[in-house]
């Protein structure tokens, strides 16, 4: 199998081939995604929400992210593995940011890191890229700044925020990012940004004009009960399917119907 690289995703944009991205946090799920042919597995800090049960992505640590990343790397034979640098590891000193990125690359075997923000971090992005580490950007709704914005609603609807986002996207491209996630912004703005960049955009709640799409795997499989924003297409209802299977197992155990004669030694 030929490995997807930062170069091949860039080539996909040139060829007009859409890039399919899902998040992944553990070995077993990542194996399924990789076998199914996903292009990029994003070890998102959404792990804080869906794996650890935190309300925001703020608390997750670099060590926790690296545990998830190592497991995904062991499963991914074809997919490019991108790892979120968690809150607090890159917003300050760019030397510390580089150290965090180096640790992710050396200790997990991942292929790239992702960071949130534009002008605020573009020098840091440049420094990490100069060290030979591919970086993906993330603009629009940036969940690590939730306490600054106070809401998870659509971003950049106003002209001022939209102009800043366009400038930020250009800055990230100039700093050397190989791609940029656009989260929860108007579809027209996402399409405009996508057309203005040579690097691919990966949208989530950003309309069909992006070069690729990403969803949180727990959301698209319907594991995450009660989370159904407008942008989310739910391909399965695993919450119900798993609950039903577990219910049957409980009944079988209680009724002494499991294990059967064929299920013992």
Binding mask 15-54 for Na ion (x = CB under 5 A): -----------------------------xx---------
From ligand KIV, Na ion, none, interface partner of 214 (C-beta below 5 to 8 A by class): ligand KIV
Residue, CB closest to ligand KIV: 44
Binder among 34, 84, 173, 211 for ligand KIV (CB under 6 A): 84
181 and 143 in contact (C-beta within 8 Å)? Answer: no
Which residues fall within 8 angstroms of residue 155, CB to CB, at 6 or more apart?
Answer: 140, 141, 149, 161, 165, 183, 184, 185
Binder among 29, 34, 48, 84 for Na ion (CB under 5 A): 84
Which residues fall within 8 angstroms of residue 136, CB to CB, at 6 or more apart?
Answer: 82, 112, 113, 114, 115, 177, 178, 179, 180, 181, 202
d(CA 178, CA 134): 7
Which residues fall within 8 angstroms of residue 129, CB to CB, at 6 or more apart?
Answer: 135, 175, 176, 177
Please, what is the minimum distance in Å from the beta carbon of residue 210 to ligand KIV? Answer: 12
Closest of 160, 164, 161, 205 to residue 187, by C-alpha: 205
46 is a site residue for ligand KIV (CB under 6 A): yes
User: Does residue 158 have an active-site annotation?
Assistant: no
The annotation places the binding site for 3-methyl-2-oxobutanoate at 45-46, 84, 114
What tokens appear for 219 in the block?
Answer: 């959301």
Q: Using the minimum distance from each CB to ligand KIV, give the nearer residue, 101 or 259.
A: 101
179 is a site residue for Na ion (CB under 5 A): no
- Given 55, 120, 183, 244, the catalytic residue: 183
From Na ion, ligand KIV, none, interface partner of 204 (C-beta below 5 to 8 A by class): ligand KIV
58 and 102 in contact (C-beta within 8 Å)? Answer: no
Q: Using the minimum distance from each CB to ligand KIV, give the nearer residue, 208 or 259.
A: 208
Q: Using the minimum distance from each CB to ligand KIV, give the nearer residue, 177 or 181.
A: 181
Q: Using the minimum distance from each CB to Na ion, give the nearer residue, 24 or 44.
A: 44
From ligand KIV, Na ion, none, interface partner of 176 (C-beta below 5 to 8 A by class): none
Closest of 50, 142, 48 to residue 91, by C-alpha: 142
What is the DSSP track for 132-145?
T--EEEEEES-GGG
From Na ion, ligand KIV, none, interface partner of 135 (C-beta below 5 to 8 A by class): none
Please, what is the minimum distance in Å from the beta carbon of residue 47 to Na ion? Answer: 9
d(CA 224, CA 238): 9
Q: Cβ atoms within 10 A of the Cβ of 240, count?
A: 11
d(CA 264, CA 46): 41
Contact residues for ligand KIV (CB under 6 A)? 23, 42, 44-46, 84, 138, 181, 183, 204, 214, 216
Give the active site residues: 183
Contact residues for Na ion (CB under 5 A)? 44-45, 84
């Amino acid at each position: 199998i030929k490995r997807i690289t930062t170069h091949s995703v860039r080539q996909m944009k040139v060829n007009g081939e859409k890039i399919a991205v899902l998040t992944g946090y553990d070995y077993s799920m990542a194996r399924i995604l990789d076998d199914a042919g996903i292009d990029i597995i994003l070890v998102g800090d959404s792990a804080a929400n869906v794996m650890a049960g935190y309300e925001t992505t703020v608390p997750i640590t670099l060590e926790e992210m690296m545990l998830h990343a190592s497991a995904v790397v062991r499963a991914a034979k074809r997919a490019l593995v991108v790892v979120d640098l968690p809150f607090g590891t890159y917003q300050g000193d760019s030397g510390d940011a580089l150290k965090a990125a180096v640790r992710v690359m050396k200790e997990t075997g991942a292929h790239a890191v992702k960071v949130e923000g534009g002008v605020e971090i573009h020098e840091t992005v440049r420094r990490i890229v100069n060290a030979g580490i591919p970086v993906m950007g993330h603009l629009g709704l940036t969940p690590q700044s939730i306490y600054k914005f106070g809401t998870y609603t659509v971003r950049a609807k106003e002209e001022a925020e939209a102009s800043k986002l366009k400038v930020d996207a250009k800055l990230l491209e100039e700093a050397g990012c190989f791609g940029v996630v656009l989260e929860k912004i108007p579809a027209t703005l996402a399409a405009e940004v996508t057309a203005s960049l040579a690097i691919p955009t990966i949208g989530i709640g950003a309309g069909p004009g992006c070069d690729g799409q990403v969803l949180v795997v727990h959301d698209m499989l319907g594991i995450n009960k009660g989370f159904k924003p407008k942008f989310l297409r739910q391909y399965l209802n695993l919450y119900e399917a798993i609950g039903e299977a577990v219910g049957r197992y409980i009944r079988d155990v209680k009724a002494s119907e499991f294990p059967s004669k064929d299920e013992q030694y």
